[in-house]
């Protein structure tokens, strides 16, 4: 590819969702949705309960199959791929409740998230383990758990467990990281640290976040998309969205 062509690829949205629809027994949880995400962008999706936010993430990560529409990630169509193929393509997704192994240490949880399948011959095993250890230490520092590497994950605070799960996703170095309500149940100081973490990790990846905490949204969002009844009700800067009468009526006014 020429430098010019690569430049063009870099300017295109990393994720392009078009006409996305999913119907559950005739009920459209996501309805003809369009969404474009840039490289290194932090996008926050807000909206009332039942708006289709979690379903949107389910569709992107392949957990739910679309009824219609397309999801292109770096030009590749995702709607017909299996979940593991979507992970391999570079999409990581964090669910609302942390799914870490409580009986294992922080180190072990991170270690087992290191991508498998990078075929290494026996002779290179030592080199590989050094590489894994270095990566675990780097990620642990990023998620504020460097001092807790050898603690059992079950002993961490709720917020630290959430960070550990983000760390497990970072081990795979995804180009798109999706997080569903990452600061729910966190203390004020943990929320501040999570905002710092997301800003830092978006320097070389895109982040799609669902969140209700408006102070948190304001501190991280480049752009906000408001969903309502499976459709985009409004999209733009936090200020524009917050002063939009339609958004106040269906969401912020409550
Ligand atoms: N697998 C499913 N089967 C039937 N209805 C579903 C399913 N998943 C979600 N829904 C419905 O779709 C709507 C959107 O849900 P959801 O995406 O979880 O909303 P949000 O995350 O914005 O609160 C809700 O009315 C929900 O009940
Ligand atoms: Mg939800």
Span from the CA of 28 to the centroid of ligand 1 (angstroms): 9
Q: What is the pLDDT of residue 127?
A: 62
Say how far apart CA 20 and CA 56 lie, in whole Å: 9
Q: Which atom of ligand 1 is closest in space to residue 180's alpha carbon?
A: 21
Closest ligand to the CA of 96: 2
Residues constituting the chain:
254
Strand order in the sheet with 68-73: 27-37, 15-24, 68-73, 76-77
Question: pLDDT category, 114, cuts 50, 70, 90?
Answer: confident
Which tokens is 80 given?
């017909």
Percent of the chain with pLDDT over 90: 83
Span from the CA of 35 to the centroid of ligand 2 (angstroms): 17
* Residue 228 beta carbon below 6 angstroms from any ligand 1 atom: no
Lowest model confidence (mean pLDDT) among 76-85, 118-127, 193-202: 118-127
Question: pLDDT category, 131, cuts 50, 70, 90?
Answer: confident
Say how far apart CA 194 and CA 182 lie, in whole Å: 8
On whether the CB atoms of residues 11 and 171 are closer than 8 A, the answer is no
Q: Which atom of ligand 1 is closest in space to residue 64's alpha carbon?
A: 1
* Residue 225 beta carbon below 6 angstroms from any ligand 1 atom: no
Q: Residue holding tokens 């106040």?
A: 248
* Residue 230 beta carbon below 6 angstroms from any ligand 1 atom: no
Q: What is the pLDDT of residue 121?
A: 53
Question: pLDDT category, 7, cuts 50, 70, 90?
Answer: low
**Which of 41, 80, 67 lies closest to 206 in space, CA to CA?**
41
**Which of 82, 73, 76, 66 lies closest to 32 in space, CA to CA?**
66
Say how far apart CA 101 and CA 116 lie, in whole Å: 18
Does 129 score more than 50 pLDDT? yes
Average pLDDT over residues 72-88: 96
Q: Which atom of ligand 1 is closest in space to residue 24's alpha carbon?
A: 4
Question: pLDDT category, 1, cuts 50, 70, 90?
Answer: very low
* Residue 50 beta carbon below 6 angstroms from any ligand 1 atom: yes
Span from the CA of 8 to the centroid of ligand 2 (angstroms): 34
Higher pLDDT, 243 or 10: 243
Q: What is the pLDDT of residue 6?
A: 56
Span from the CA of 21 to the centroid of ligand 1 (angstroms): 13
* Residue 22 beta carbon below 6 angstroms from any ligand 1 atom: no
Does 60 score more than 50 pLDDT? yes
Mean predicted lDDT score pLDDT of the chain: 91
pLDDT digits (tens, 9 = 90+) for 201-244: 999 999 999 999 999 999 999 999 999 999 999 999 999 999 99
On whether the CB atoms of residues 41 and 207 are closer than 8 A, the answer is yes
């Amino acid at each position: 590819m020429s430098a010019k062509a690569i430049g063009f690829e870099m300017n295109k949205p990393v994720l392009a969702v078009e006409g996305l629809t999913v119907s559950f027994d005739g009920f459209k949880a996501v309805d003809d949705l369009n969404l474009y995400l840039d490289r290194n962008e932090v996008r926050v999706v807000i909206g009332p309960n039942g708006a289709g936010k979690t379903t949107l993430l389910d569709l992107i990560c392949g957990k739910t199959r679309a009824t219609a529409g397309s999801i292109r990630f770096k030009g590749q169509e995702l709607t017909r791929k299996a979940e593991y193929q979507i992970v391999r393509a570079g999409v990581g997704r964090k669910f609302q409740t942390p799914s870490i192994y409580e009986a294992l240490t922080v180190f072990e949880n991170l270690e087992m998230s290191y991508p498998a399948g990078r075929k290494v011959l026996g002779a290179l095993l030592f080199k590989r383990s050094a590489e894994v250890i270095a990566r675990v230490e780097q990620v642990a520092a990023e998620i504020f758990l460097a001092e807790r590497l050898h603690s059992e994950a079950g002993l961490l605070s709720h917020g630290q467990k959430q960070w550990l799960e983000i760390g497990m996703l970072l081990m795979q170095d995804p180009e798109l990281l999706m997080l569903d309500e990452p600061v729910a149940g966190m203390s004020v100081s943990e929320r501040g640290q999570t905002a710092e973490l997301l800003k830092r990790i978006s320097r070389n990846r895109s982040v799609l976040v669902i969140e209700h905490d408006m102070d948190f949204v304001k501190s991280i969002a480049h752009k906000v998309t408001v969903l309502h009844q499976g459709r985009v009700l409004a999209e733009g800067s936090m200020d524009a969205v917050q002063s939009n009468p339609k958004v106040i009526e269906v969401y912020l006014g409550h």
